[in-house]
């Protein structure tokens, strides 16, 4: 059984590089097309495994070529894939436009990720044996909520990336130990325009809030106050896809490895920055040796 269980999405990312987003009705040329394993859950699982985390992935794929490739990618990264469900829907896809400046725009087609499945005995056993449960909102929310509630009931630390932002059931946030939104997600979730104020408000409900802000680093809030700021690691970005997932995966892996919170946050910031210097999501995530060399 793994120390870190990630319950989340697995997609095949279909990535087009292009100079800008097209106007409505416009046809334009892109400069390249690639397929890259992705999905927030898969990305976080691989990011954690790359920095020596002990990780199991609870996901759902179809019986198509994309599904097989995603399983192989996870296994090659050292992630336990035994509890991935095979469903009668195509594997999920994400259609990603990467602009020349490094920013991206993404449309996700959930397919297998969106199939309504109950939290089964295999998943419960994996969560019970873990120290951390990591979830996002690209799987059906009832499944995510059930997993978080079960994890809390057995003393497992819950880590939530609230993406995409959805209306949450009553009491959900109170079961979250660590909430890791980006600035836009924090503001949307709190209903507050200022990201620092949003972090403060959310931290009155959850254990710890870590708001990622790209090149502006991250804010850490607890019990209604900003308690720390994490500086960004300076790089020249090529593709920001998966940077937030890298941050979360590495943060949890380093906490599980026994790092103090400040050291784990710094490692996560460095790893996320390094991930932006390469194309793709799961293919861009650095190893612990790379992160450690930059920390030194």
Catalytic residue annotation = 245
- The reply to whether 41 sits in an annotated binding site is yes
170 DSSP assignment: T
Ligand-binding annotation for 182, yes or no, is yes
**Does the annotation place 179 within a ligand binding site?**
no
How far does CA 221 lie from the centroid of its chain? 19
Q: Is 275 annotated as a binding residue?
A: yes
212 is in an annotated binding site: yes
Are 5 and 134 within 8 A, CB to CB? Answer: yes
Is 245 one of the annotated binding-site residues?
yes
> Binding site annotation covers 190?
no
- 216 annotated as belonging to a binding site for a ligand: yes
Q: Is 11 annotated as a binding residue?
A: yes
Separation in Å, CA 148 to CA 15, 92, 95: 32, 23, 29
Flag whether 138 is marked binding. Answer: yes
How far apart are the C-alpha atoms of 192 and 196, rounded to whole Å?
A: 9
Instruction: Enumerate residues 6+ apart whose C-beta is below 8 A from 253.
Output: 4, 47, 48, 49, 51, 52, 53, 55
213 is in an annotated binding site: yes
User: Residue 197 is inside which H or E element, if any?
Assistant: helix 195-203
Residue 284, annotated as binding a ligand? yes
CA atoms within 13 A on the CB side of 237: 24
The token duo for 172 is 């959900």
Task: Please tell me the distance from the alpha carbon of residue 147 to that of residue 115, in angstroms, as a whole number.
Answer: 16
Would you say 92 is a known binding-site residue? no
Q: Taking the mean position of all CA atoms in its chain, how far away is CA 67? A: 19
Find out whether 259 is annotated in a ligand binding site. no
Q: Are the C-beta atoms of 16 and 144 separated by less than 8 Å?
A: no
Query: Is 174 annotated as contributing to ligand binding?
Result: no
Q: Is 280 annotated as a binding residue?
A: yes
Quick check: 127 and 150 in contact, CB under 8 A? Answer: yes
User: Could you give the CA distance from residue 221 to residue 4 in angstroms, rounded to a whole number?
Assistant: 23
Element (H, E) at 294: helix 288-295
Bridge pairing between strands 157-160 and 178-179:
parallel
Which residue ranges make up the annotated binding site for ATP?
182, 212-217, 244-245
| Annotated binding-site members for substrate | 11-13, 39-43, 138, 245
Q: Residues comprising the binding site for K(+)? A: 239, 241, 275, 278, 280, 284
Binding-site residues, in ranges, read 11-13, 39-43, 138, 182, 212-217, 239, 241, 244-245, 275, 278, 280, 284
């Amino acid at each position: 059984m793994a120390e870190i269980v990630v319950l989340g999405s697995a997609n095949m990312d279909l990535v087009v590089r292009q100079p800008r987003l097209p106007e409505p009705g416009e046809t334009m040329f892109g400069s390249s097309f690639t397929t890259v394993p992705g999905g927030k859950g898969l990305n976080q699982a691989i990011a954690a495994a790359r920095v020596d985390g002990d990780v199991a992935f609870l996901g759902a794929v179809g019986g198509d070529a994309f599904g097989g490739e995603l399983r192989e990618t996870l296994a090659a990264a050292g992630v336990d894939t035994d509890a991935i469900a095979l469903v009668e829907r195509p594997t999920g896809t994400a259609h990603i436009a990467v602009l020349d400046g490094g920013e991206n725009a993404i449309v996700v087609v959930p397919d297998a990720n969106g199939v309504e499945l109950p939290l089964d005995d295999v998943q419960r056993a994996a969560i019970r044996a873990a120290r951390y449960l990591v979830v996002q909102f690209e799987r059906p929310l009832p499944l995510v909520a059930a997993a978080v509630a079960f994890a809390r009931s057995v003393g497992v630390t819950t880590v939530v990336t609230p993406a995409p932002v959805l209306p949450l059931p009553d009491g959900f946030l109170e079961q979250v130990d660590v909430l890791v939104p980006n600035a836009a997600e924090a503001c949307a979730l709190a209903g507050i325009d200022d990201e620092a104020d949003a972090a403060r408000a959310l931290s009155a409900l959850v254990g710890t809030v870590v708001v990622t802000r790209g090149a502006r680093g991250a804010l850490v809030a607890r019990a209604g106050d900003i308690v720390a700021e994490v500086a960004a690691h300076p790089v020249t970005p090529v593709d920001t896809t998966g940077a937030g997932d890298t941050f979360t995966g590495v943060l949890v892996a380093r906490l599980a490895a026994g790092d103090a919170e400040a050291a784990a946050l710094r490692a996560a910031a460095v790893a996320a920055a390094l991930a932006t210097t390469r194309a793709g999501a799961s293919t861009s995530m650095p190893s612990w040796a790379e992160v450690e060399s930059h920390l030194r």
